[in-house]
A and B are shown apart, each in its own frame.
Chain A
Amino acid sequence: MSRMVSDFKAFGLAYLRSRTGFFFALIFPVILILVFGAIFSQTGTQKIDLPVQDLDNGTWSQTYLAKLNATGAFAIDMISPDVDFNRYIKDELKVLALQIPSGFNESVNNATRGYGPPATIILKGDPTNTYFTVGMGVANAVALQLNSTVVAMVQTENLGSPQYTFIDFFVPGMIAFTALTTPMFSMSTICSEYRNRGFFKLLGSTPLRKSEWLTAKILWYTVLMLASIAIMYVVGIAAFNAHFTITPMAILLVIVGVFLFTSFGMFLGVFVSNPESASALANAIGFPMMFLSGIFFQLESMPAYLQYIAKALPLTYLAEGLRATMSLGNDVVAATDFVILLISGLILFVIAARAMSWKGK
């Protein structure tokens, strides 16, 4: 019994003396609580994202939009009249958008004087979506309050669901998730273990170069990821009738994602003292990143400040790029994400490669 108590004390002391161990034991749970709390503890303050195109830009349209904004139900994003609105809605995967046609002001004035039918406001999107239903109710209510008589009403235009089911959203996200976890988690542990067990020194005694060693790792994780993608693809198609496809851009994104997260894992592994701490640190960084990068939830469903944080995380761009190319056929967005990931990866690679030494101090 006394031996067990002694071992318990010594282990506990050693664990708490490790900064990473301390962080993982006491601070990491707090971070998770904050992150999950922020995502799920919505208290009725969330607004519906509403792109608006005002083709009239008259007094009545501005009055209508001011009243609509005053409801607090929408986060209104004004879209230029020059933009092809239907194309925009499809490209940006909007389920709800509002367009005020030109001549709206005149139609309202005529309706007010009893010379014509109520003016029309067009609500576009996917009528099967809950947000659309809620949005239509609010937009209609505001239209009815525009004047003492009915001078405007909302018509809907069904742009349909863009063949984009949850599985089309989720599987590319899961590919991005795997591209994060597999290389980053194992590289951080490997770097620490290699240093502690003298493997780096052993390798340093051979003609092998650091860059060759790292490239070999990136290649291995890429091959592993490609196998993983193939499996996810088959499962997605077979089990859920998914619509996504594996495109050359998706392969490029996965390669650059593996490159980035391998470098990131190496970067983490350089700064921790033992494999356990490396694993804990990778978990502490990786898990919040997974939830904040829109792997499991649409970024739009998160509060605005979390969306800002998400934009700073590389996993966001990998998930977004993969979804764009695999599920939506939008290689322009994917290419932009690819460039962002490549630049981030190169920066991390250089920092990590410089920080990692196979030599003793």
Chain B
Amino acid sequence: MHPDDARRWMMENKPRGLVDKRMNMSEAVAKFTRDGDYFAMGGFGHVRFSMAGIYEMIRQRRKSLCMAAKTGVHDVDVLVASGLVDRVECAYAFGHELRGLSPAGRRRVESGQVKVVGEISNAGFQWRFKAAAMGLPWMPARVMLGTDTLRYSSSKVAEDPWTGLPITLLPACYPDFVFIHVHRCDRYGNCQIDGITIEDVDLARAAKRLIVTTEKMIDEEEVRAHPDRTVIPHFSVDAVVEVPYGSHPGNMPGLYYSDEEHMAEWLRLSRSDEGVEEYLDRYVRGVKEFSEYIELVGGEEKMMYLRRLEHLEVPLDAPWARRG
């Protein structure tokens, strides 16, 4: 994207004043996501990510999406399995970290139903968002040099005019839309995140349209009392949706750990297309909104257990790790 076109987009679309952006999930998805869009999910694939946003996109049957799998884990897996995403730009996808590989993601990509349109590294994606956040056409970096990862990426190698060294130029990346799940935010979109911010500070600024889902709404006064806690300011944000437990079955630092029982169920069911349909019918299409889904997976009792697990008060039981 030409940096002047990007400037114009920001100038014309991002309100600098305080505007109440609260809406429900279905409005936010209808308004700010489109078929064919290139998008990214904040957080880390199954940590502080907007599962609520993913489920709603499935309910609204978004299609032909291209995902920036900037460490895609459960997010890209569910989106690829459900057929919404047919192209992936891949730093990390088709895997579930310690849980192993993703049966659904791999099946779709190995059968050609999903195309990988480019490779990149994690730092590569991070710094592409940083270039966009700074309004620059590209960011130089010393990664990917000499590898096939670079050859299959959108980056180029140039000569550093000072040292003469080859250097990677990572093109700025402006996703059409981005979901970021946060701990707290006010009605205007001033957001607080507890713990690591991963790529979200730059990603929020790179997004053309940003939907924030939040565990909790807070007052503007609370934001202004602790302005150092604001990591995403209101003018980057297009929609604010309050969704308690919105990162389930993923981890939400400080609030709840990942639900490994549910993850194991997904990993088991997603071994077949029929299983994926069964999962989606039960947990996504079969419910109207996220709070209904939370009831379905165990409600307050389960959430309390995940809270205790997060605080190390009970030992982790990971069904996918059981042998024999």
A and B: real partners?
A: no
Q: Which residues of A contact B (CB under 8 A)?
A: none
